[in-house]
A = this chain, B = another copy of it.
């Protein structure tokens, strides 16, 4: 088929690429929805986490929303400017902060939650509930694999 490099796998069989394409497929419509409201996918994740869990410190937000601290620092600044979150100092530990979502932030979530659920339902219907569950199981299992293959 290809005389250039037979040892390289087809991109369809490359897990990193396949994950990339799948993510793009799922995120495309979500990004389109959020663009109308003026928040990014990552900002939306942060707001969702805060709405779900209540007041959190940045470290836990980063963990739950899958963001690195440097990214989160900038995102929290942006969200504060937009009036969607507030930050206050931790009462006993001056290194830490406490981040909360504002009423305005909750309203933004409320305004988009229905559409978000509609997209989820579309995915479940189009792809199949059983396949979706299998896929999620496999992805979670992959994520729990042993640390590092450097042995």
Contacts and interface: CB of A to CB of B under 8 A. Distances in A.
A11 B136 contact: no
Interface string A85-127: 0000000000000000000000000000100011110110011
A37 interface: no
A19 B15 contact: no
A14 to B, nearest CB: 9
Interface residues on A, range: 35 or more
Main DSSP-derived SS at the A contact region: helix
A26 B29 CA distance: 25
B148 A29 contact: yes
20 contacts: A2-B52, A7-B117, A9-B120, A11-B66, A12-B136, A15-B26, A16-B23, A18-B136, A18-B143, A21-B66, A22-B143, A23-B23, A25-B142, A25-B145, A122-B149, A126-B145, A127-B142, A134-B138, A135-B135, A135-B138
Given A126-B149, A134-B134, 13 more contacts: A4-B54, A7-B113, A7-B117, A8-B52, A9-B120, A15-B135, A16-B27, A16-B41, A18-B140, A20-B66, A21-B139, A26-B142, A122-B149
